[in-house]
A and B are shown apart, each in its own frame.
Chain A
């Protein structure tokens, strides 16, 4: 049993055992256009990293590129074949991986001259592109299945008013193939929308077309590696340029385009197909018979959208198809401050760039010291140089001003460090020493306290210069004032906190109605106990033991009421809750995003499964999210003792009669004997975190006309928390 488990664990890396001679197995990647052309560049890089993960340290990649696939005319295979033969000599690679159809065709044409005994794994092919290679023995193909109709349906679903579709495409043979396919597949939409294929135009021409399209137009971005003018465009450069000027919403076909300006939809899942290919590669490298490996074509992904683009074009999330995921969500606050945050980042980037540039310039042209200092000073940089033998630091006036040092005093590292707050000194010194020892460039940020007590933030960059021997003789560098940037960062952080606080106040303050319930429980207990006590005192002989017990209970209940008040006091002045239709799925997804870092840090994997056509529920989104956050936090805490791989939270949602039920299932330590004690108001509440206690969670659910309860997991240890909420529309509707 043990042995079996071990073998399974090692399954992914069995090749490492095979490679007894210690040499890594060689995988030859043959690129169709070059390493950097979309969408294959992402397929290739995902494939590399996935295979690298499965077989760490035992696989070596060799890249070769057709390049000429970009060009028309007779393929010139000869030079590449000669080159590969020369590179590998007597020892052929262990696996051949052509990426894209042109590379696959190259392999087919030259199979007999191209390491004919080595298995081939063809990656990045689509079902529609019939490549004879896949019929040959020793070949495994990892295909995709791009449903062209689905691409158009998505456009019409998201932008139903669409009248014109502009299709940007390149003119290389592969691109022309897809242009033809699209034209044929989309013929049936004639009449409903007008198609404008822009293939044959130069990028500049395309830009001018999409910059002033007629009303109700969209742009569909196909493959664009070589435009009509014969200019090649690497990666998604063309796309980026086009969306920058486009006055119409952009759509695309591949995962690699999402985040660059397309709205989204069902996209070509590059990573997933690369993952599948990588597992097949492991099997092939492991010596498995290629005939035994069959891979199913990977269909388009579930719909994914870019939140920023949805907002930009005014598309409501409710208009998206069921099961959609929305990426690149930006908090409102961030958006409000995006301008200057990005600005600050750009400034910081520019500064760093400038420093590097200046350092380089400094090295190259030492004789132009004066000009250099002048340039440095004009952008507020201080320049310094330290002699490692004498420990003397020579610095420009500007630098001395930054550190608040006298223009004439002799400077040593020790003297300079006196300006740095004590608590930062050691770390700074260590960073500098390490940089010097390794002869690398280093960048440090630290504070300086001036004579008058004011502090400023300084960024310093330095580089060690080797002397004639082995030791470092000199270090030199530049420093600049980054106080303003630090201030902005801090302010942003603070505002984010305030925002979070406000959100919490708003939702909790609105809870007063349900909190009254929490308060009335202990108050009710107090009243009943007190009145019973009075009643007992009227008896001829009072039972003192019973009275004592009653008084003790009164004290306890009173403390409990006091706790409720303490917790709520500061939260009572908030506004009203917003009751609106809430999409449970989106709500959970959003919580997952909010907690992504938390979950990640705790090694917890969040899995979700939602029934199709889940009806919306009516409620306050923030409150519902707080409940879910709280339940997820609890789940995380319950699983601390588990191995990292076993920390899984499963959130499911189904519609049942006229309500929506959400279950949050963990694999943690389970529930206490008395499950209900968990829900007792505030008793189990932790002092920190976003959590608000199961008692309040339940009250929130009740105020929504819903319920919250817990059960034990049916198999294995763990707890299941159930939420039920009334659906907005009956299921029969």
Chain B
């Protein structure tokens, strides 16, 4: 990773917040720190984070609630929880909701950094997936309307002859369209085309 990863940090205890911020910055992270979960949630839109470190017990809404609200608003950042006391039911709930880790304060820097590595791996994967989808969308946009129509028929699993009949074209024309679109989309097999169409929400022909 060439850029510095950006970590969102939320803890209502100012001493703790300052110490964690300092620790992460010394390790080369960029840190966006908040002492209120509500403020964090308000400003989330303008942030492009790689991972989030949350205190579990906070006044307005606690870490778990914050995690849920983030998910509800479409933010899938990996979350690491910190808690002042080991609380098994909470940790189970957090992990089930997709938390990367659940650490007890005082937290050892190695544990925290390890958890962050893990989190960044997750966010890297998420980013890569997101990038792949974006790339596919670009490729899909390159298809001509006719090629797009042929794609909708191809993913139903029909033969060229049938598609030709459906679209009122010659089999040869369909073959050419099919070759072009597989080229443009970079998917040699029908199976891959089907998966791509699914990911991008392309409807199969009736």
Contacts and interface: CB of A to CB of B under 8 A. Distances in A.
Nearest to A557: B15
A560 B35 CA distance: 19
B157 interface: no
B23 A521 contact: no
Given A517-B57, A535-B26, A676-B59, A522 B109 contact: no
Contacts of A698: 59
A522 B107 contact: no
Interface string B16-41: 10111011001100000001100000
A513 B59 contact: no
A524 B106 contact: yes
A535 B113 CA distance: 13
A217 B105 CA distance: 62
Contacts of B82: 524
B186 interface: no
Contacts of B22: 528-529, 532, 550
A659 interface: no
Contacts of A525: 13, 15-16, 18-19, 106
Contact of B19 (A520, A532, A707, A709): A532
A518 B84 contact: yes
Contact of A528 (B14, B23, B57): B23
Given A535-B26, A535-B27, A527 B107 contact: yes
Interface of B is mostly: loop
B35 to A, nearest CB: 7
A523 B14 CA distance: 13
Chain A interface size, as a band, is 20 to 34
Interface in A532-560: 532, 535-536, 550, 553, 556-557, 560
Contacts of A553: 15, 18-19
Contacts of B107: 524, 527-528
A679 interface: yes
Interface residues of B, number: 27
A521 B19 contact: no
Nearest to A514: B85
Which of the listed residues A514, A518, A524, A527 has the most CB atoms from chain B within 10 Å of its own CB? A524
A528 B20 contact: yes
B15 A522 contact: yes
A636 interface: no
Contact of B106 (A513, A527, A535, A550): A527
B23 A531 contact: yes
A526 interface: yes
A702 B13 CA distance: 15
Contacts of B27: 535
Contacts of B36: 676
Contacts of A516: 84-85
B12 interface: yes
Interface string A480-520: 00000000000000000000000000000000011011101
B15 A560 contact: yes
Nearest to A549: B22
Interface string A417-460: 00000000000000000000000000000000000000000000
A662 interface: no
Contacts of B129: none
A521 B13 contact: yes
B135 interface: no
A698 B84 CA distance: 14
Nearest to B112: A528
B109 A521 contact: no
Contact of B57 (A527, A702, A709): A702
Contacts of A526: 19, 106
27 contacts: A514-B85, A516-B84, A516-B85, A517-B84, A520-B85, A521-B15, A523-B105, A524-B106, A525-B16, A526-B106, A527-B106, A527-B108, A527-B109, A528-B16, A528-B22, A529-B19, A529-B23, A532-B22, A535-B23, A553-B18, A557-B19, A560-B15, A676-B12, A679-B59, A680-B13, A680-B14, A707-B59
Interface of B: 12-16, 18-20, 22-23, 26-27, 35-36, 57, 59-60, 62, 82, 84-85, 104-109
Interface of A: 513-514, 516-518, 520-529, 531-532, 535-536, 550, 553, 556-557, 560, 676, 679-680, 698, 702, 707-709
Given A524-B84, A707-B59, 15 more contacts: A517-B84, A520-B105, A524-B16, A528-B16, A528-B22, A528-B109, A532-B23, A532-B109, A535-B23, A557-B19, A676-B12, A679-B59, A680-B13, A680-B14, A702-B57
3 nearest A-B pairs in the assembled complex, by CB-CB distance:
A517-B84, A524-B105, A528-B19
